[in-house]
Amino acid sequence: MEFESLKAGLYVCRSEAHSFGTDAFLLTAFSRYHAGDCVCDLGTGCGIIPLLMQRTHPPRMIYAVDIQQNAIDQLHAALGKCDGAPAIEPICADLCELWEGAPRGMLDLVTCNPPYKASNAGILSADAGKQIARHEIACDISDICEAASKLLKYHGRFCLCCRPERLADVMTSMRQHRIEPKRLRFVSKTPDSEPWLFLLEGMKDAKPFLRVEPTLFIRSGAGMTSEAAAICHFGENYT
């Protein structure tokens, strides 16, 4: 395991089993979390999304949930190295069952960077942790949407990212669990490449209306676009 600085006094612990990529930064920014929010991050892994939310205007509480104890241990290690006491509660639990005392119907925001591949798609890693992170083995998109719906209050928001080929599955599951897709953004690596990711926000018990935002491009020429760099806090926007 190794620690990586997210800003002065704020660290994430990453390992071969539980790491993160650009999608975590994109989802965190897309979620538009607020300082007064009570949040849950499902399948938190090393806790990168809750930790990123500490960089500016942190929510008043974040439940960081993962079924794998070693992921929760990593998050505890990161919190032990951070300055102050971030309002993050690591919880080892199965999101299909939630946990005792879960704040059902009380949350403003739920986030999830889910397994991108269906259980029968792609080649399984030999590592069990990577299997759970990449394939719908411990849960599927319907389980995730159901858990989010149980946790969200009326008009609470659910934000997730996934591969474009799963968009129909995600929207269908959201609606089956009373979460109406409201805001969609595709992400492309370059202006001339097709999207490799989408970011989707749903709202519990809302009326139908979907807004499609302009595509986010990650790279321009040899470097990152100014928007992508600002989201990741690279370059002059780093704090």
Q: Would you give the distance in Å from CA 132 to the centre of its chain?
A: 15
What pLDDT, on the 0 to 100 scale, is given for residue 24? 96
Q: Domain range holding 98? A: 2-237
pTM for this entry: 0.90
Residues 185/19/38/227 CA torsion (nearest 10 deg): -40
Q: Would you give the distance in Å from CA 239 to the centre of its chain?
A: 21
Could you tell me the CATH number of the domain that includes residue 119? 3.40.50.150
Burial class (CB in 10 A: 0-12, 13-18, 19+), 175: middle
pLDDT tens series, the chain, 239 aa = 899 999 999 999 999 999 999 999 999 999 999 999 999 999 999 999 999 999 999 999 999 999 999 999 999 999 999 999 899 999 999 999 999 999 999 999 999 999 875 555 444 444 444 444 443 556 899 999 999 999 999 999 999 999 999 999 999 999 999 999 999 999 999 999 999 999 999 999 999 999 999 999 999 888 899 999 999 875 333 33
Give the count of alpha carbons within 13 A of 72, CB side only: 15
* Total domains in the fold of the chain: 1
What pLDDT, on the 0 to 100 scale, is given for residue 49? 98
